[in-house]
Amino acid sequence: MQYISTRGGISPIPFTEAVMMGLAEDGGLLLPRTIPRVSSETYASWQDLSYPELAFEVMSRFIDDIPNSDLRELIDRSYATFDHPEITPLVHHGTLHILELFHGPTFAFKDVALQFLGNLFEYLLKKNDAVMNIIGATSGDTGSAAIYGVRGKEKINIFILHPHKRVSPVQEQQMTTVTDANVFNIAIRGTFDDGQAIVKAIFNDIDFKKQYNLGAINSINWARVLAQVVYYVHSCLHINRHEHDKAVDFAVPTGNFGDIFAGYIAKRMLPEGTIRKLLLASNTNDILTRFVAHGDYSLGSVVATSSPSMDIQAASNFERYLYYLLDENPVHTTAAMSQFTETGRLNLSSSCDQIKRDFVATAATEQEVLETIQLFYKEYGYILDPHTAVGVHAALIHQQKGIPVICLSTAHPAKFGETVSKAIGIPPEMPHALAALADKKSRCELMDADRNLIQDFIRHHALEQQ
Ligand SMILES: *Cc1c(COP(=O)(O)O)cnc(C)c1O
């Protein structure tokens, strides 16, 4: 499989080069040249595969430059860190099916992709005899999933900036108790935006970026999308084992459009009609809901909510869907993206029919999130985290008789105990591994939000190409 850019400015490259490139060199996003279709016979033959076996079948259709045995080994190792035998189990409550994506080491769905990406980076760097230094800023969750993805790996160092005392105690512990020699936590005296601005400035230092082979942890890497396609297929198979030939809907709590875009790829890959609709669920930051409803993609300002991992306006993976919406035309995609950069808005109302064939969308208010957590606890004794509740709220509104809805559960409720307590009056039970963090040794550098100081620190501790 060859990969192309949404902006048409690079010649096609194989999978491993697309992974190492991250963002396409022309500023676009990388996509497979075609989306492989799986026949009904093949789909049926996957019924009894384990999660890692299925991951191999799905991923190998997009990868032809890693030997099969190596790919199998990478997949096996990536999912051995999950604490559930089914990796992403489906639990059933009333008419809804909750797909628990939080059984990885940091109790959030980003582990599904980042455990794989960390192993993949290490494998490719060893092969090319190269090193990488990953730099990122986090407001909480992505940082720990990235750190756990690469801890202890050869050829990779990671530097994560977080705002000192402005992440939750659990989030801070999750990051700073990882004391592997290749992990550097930097608490800055400042905000998340200060951290992000510093990281951006360091990436813009082209000589520095080249010299230390800087890598990013954002959600635009194609390998992250690909790893996420697997659980859509896995959960469809699970439903179809009991309800033959039934189309399913997915409800997806959405921020950067990475997770739901993986669902879009799965929808196009699986036999026609396997996935009916993707229910796009936003919190108060509803740019994507407005896009689905009216074709109006226009920036608002970011509002802080109880589902912070979805407090996003411009969604970094949106350009991938836009490319398909504009008939895979890179010239039109480039023009649309530069218009969006200049004016902060895009009018895609002429594409509304197409958008509505793929998506239905709903935004949840803060009150609705609390009510959904409450309702689900009362009815089923099951505790939703606030992100998952945004998706379940959309599912309850849009579910149709006879069509199963799978709701993606993107975080363990214990990570957002305050909101849960507010909704149901008691805090969720802490998993042992999270509770134990408080007694662990931690390592973290406290620094002023000064770009030069931080860049010097990184220079001093970065891996260098021999
Ligand atoms: C990242 C994240 C999301 C949003 O996923 P996107 O791929 O950015 O749309 C939802 N819930 C949680 C808990 C997350 O960490």
Q: Is the pLDDT of residue 256 over 80?
A: yes
403 CA distance to ligand 1 middle (Å): 25
Asked if residue 72 lies in contact with residue 50, where contact means CB atoms within 8 angstroms, the answer is: no
Best probe residue, ligand 1, of 218, 250, 410 (max atoms within 8 Å of C-beta): 410
**Is any atom of ligand 1 closer than 6 Å to the C-beta of 235?**
no
Residues annotated as part of the active site: 110
- pLDDT at position 26 is 93
- The answer to whether the CB of 309 is under 6 A from ligand 1 is yes
How high is the pLDDT of residue 167?
A: 86
Does residue 411 fall inside a structural domain?
yes
Farthest CA pair distance, the chain:
62
Whether residue 345 is contained in a domain is answered as yes
- Ligand 1 atom with the smallest distance to the CA of 228 is 7
First to last CA, the chain: 32
Q: 256 CB less than 6 Å from ligand 1?
A: yes
**Phi and psi angles of residue 429, each rounded to the nearest 5 degrees, phi first:** -70, 135
pLDDT band at 37 (very low <50, low <70, confident <90, very high): very high
Residue 260's CATH number: 3.40.50.1100
pLDDT digit string (tens) for 131-171?
999 999 988 788 999 999 999 999 999 999 999 988 888 89
- Which DSSP category does 433 fall into? H
Residue 196 Cα to ligand 1 midpoint, Å, equals: 18
Best residue among 387, 388, 390 to mutate for probing ligand 1, ranked by most atoms within 8 Å of CB: 387
Average pLDDT, the chain: 95
Residue 456 alpha carbon to ligand 1 centre in Å: 32
Q: Is 253 in the pocket of ligand 1 (CB under 6 A)?
A: yes
Contact (Cβ atoms closer than 8 angstroms) between residue 263 and residue 397? no
List the one residue out of 330, 338, 333 whose CA is nearest residue 4. Answer: 330
Ligand 1 within 6 A of CB of 111? no
3-state class (DSSP) for residue 220: coil
Give the pLDDT of residue 192. Answer: 85
Which strands sit side by side in the sheet containing 2-5, from one edge to the other?
Answer: 13-14, 2-5, 30-32
How many angstroms is it from 244 CA to the middle of ligand 1?
30
With a pLDDT cut of 90, the percent of the chain lying above it is: 87
Q: What is the pLDDT of residue 454?
A: 97
Query: Sorting pLDDT into bands at 50, 70 and 90, what band is 246?
Result: confident
SS3 11: coil
- Is residue 465 predicted with pLDDT exceeding 90? no
3-class SS of residue 415: helix
461 Cα to the center of ligand 1, angstroms: 30
Q: pTM here?
A: 0.96
- Using CA atoms, how far apart are residues 301 and 316, in angstroms rounded to an integer? 16
The H helix count followed by the E strand count for the chain is 20, 16
Percent of the chain with pLDDT over 70: 100
Is 456 domain-assigned?
Answer: no
In a domain, 215, yes or no: no
pLDDT for 424 equals 97
Vertex 388 angle, CA 282 and 76, to 5°: 115
The mean pLDDT of 17-41, rounded to a whole number, is 94
Which pLDDT does position 141 carry in this prediction? Answer: 80
Is 451 among the domain residues? Answer: no
CA-CA distance, 186 to 245, in Å (whole number)? 51
H-type alpha helices, 104-257: 110-128, 141-150, 169-176, 192-203, 206-211, 222-242
Give the model's pLDDT for residue 254.
96
Check residue 5 and give its pLDDT. Answer: 97
Q: Is the pLDDT of residue 466 over 80?
A: no
Q: Does residue 110 have its Cβ closer than 6 Å to ligand 1? A: yes
DSSP 33-89: SS-PPPPHHHHHHTTT--HHHHHHHHHHTT--SS-HHHHHHHHHHHHTT-SSTTSS-
Label residue 216 exposed, middle or buried (CB < 10 Å: 0-12, 13-18, 19+).
middle
**pLDDT tens digits, one per residue of 322-374:** 999 999 999 999 999 999 999 999 999 999 999 999 999 999 999 999 999 99
Residue range 53-68, pLDDT digits in tens: 999 999 999 999 999 9
Q: Give yes or no for residue 396 having a pLDDT over 90.
A: yes
pLDDT tens digit string along 421-453? Answer: 999 999 999 999 999 999 999 999 999 999 999
**Per the domain annotation, does 312 fall within a domain?**
yes
pLDDT at 196: 86
pLDDT at 219 over 80: no
Q: What is the pLDDT of residue 433?
A: 92
Q: From the CA of 259, give the closest atom in ligand 1.
A: 7
Distance CA 369, CA 353 (A): 29
Distances (CA, A) of 282 to 133, 229, 275: 33, 20, 20
Range in 137-141, 236-240, 318-322 the model is least confident about:
137-141
Domain count, the chain: 1
On whether residue 15 sits in a domain, the answer given is no
- Look at residue 313 in the predicted model and tell me its pLDDT: 83
Q: Say how many Å lie between the CA of residue 310 and the centre of ligand 1.
A: 6
* pLDDT for 107: 96
In the predicted model, is pLDDT for residue 217 greater than 80? no
Mean pLDDT for the stretch of residues 104-109: 96
The parent domain of residue 255 ranges over 90-107+223-424
Asked whether residue 459 is assigned to any structural domain, the reply reads no
Does the C-beta of 387 come closer than 6 Å to ligand 1?
yes
Q: Report d(CA 261, CA 177) in Å as an integer.
A: 33
**Is the pLDDT confidence value at 80 over 90?**
yes
Most confident of 16-30, 206-220, 265-279: 265-279
**pLDDT at residue 151 in the model:** 97
